[in-house]
Amino acid sequence: MLKTPILHPQLLAALASAGHLGKVLISDGNYPHNTKPNPRATYIYANFAPGVVGAAKMLEIVAQTIPIEAVELMAPETSGAYAMKTEPPIWADFRRILKEHADFTGEMIKLQKPEFHAQARSEDTAVVIATAETQIFANILITIGVVR
C-alpha cells in the first residue's frame, strides 16, 4: 500500500512521466473530454457518477503530488445562456486548495473557452483527468513546476 494521496496506478504513472512544464487538465463533467484535449495525453476517467469524484477533490489530491508552477481556468462567458455575473463558486475552493496544498500564490489565469481549449490541445498537455464535477466552469489546467 502506498502512502501518497493517489493510489490510482495509471494516474501516478501519468503524473510521474509528465515532467516540468507538462500540463494537467482537470475537467468537469461537461467538458468535451474526447474532442478538445491533446489526443496524445493520458486520459484518466474519474467520473464515476455525478459529483463523484469532483474537480476540487481531484485538485487537492494532485496538488499534494506534483509541484504547481501555473494555473489556467476556463472563464465563464460574459453574455448568453451560461453567462455569470460573478466568478464560479468553485474558484474559491481552487484558490484555497492551491494555497494550502501546493503553496501556490500566483494568479489563476482566466481564459475564454476558445483559448482554454487551445491550451488543452497543446502538445504540453500530458494528462487529462475527467471528473464528474457538476458545477459549471470547474475546468482547471495546471502547469507542472519543479521540486525545490
What is the structure's pLDDT at 148?
81
When comparing pLDDT for 60 and 52, which is higher?
60
| Extents of the domains making up the chain | 12-144
The share of the chain scoring above pLDDT 70, in percent, equals 99
Question: Would the pLDDT of 50 be above 80?
Answer: yes
| CATH class name, domain 12-144 | alpha beta
| pLDDT tens figures, 106-145 | 999 999 999 999 999 999 999 999 999 999 999 999 999 9
- Segment 44-72 shows an average pLDDT of 94
Question: Would the pLDDT of 52 be above 80?
Answer: yes
- Segment 40-54 shows an average pLDDT of 90
- Segment 40-55 shows an average pLDDT of 91
What is the structure's pLDDT at 38?
86
User: What is the rounded average pLDDT for all residues in the chain?
Assistant: 93
C-beta neighbour count of 135 within 10 angstroms: 17
Question: Would the pLDDT of 1 be above 70?
Answer: no
Residue 57's alpha-carbon distances to 12, 52, 73, 93, 118, in angstroms, are 16, 9, 16, 9, 25
- Segment 66-74 shows an average pLDDT of 97
What is the structure's pLDDT at 113?
93
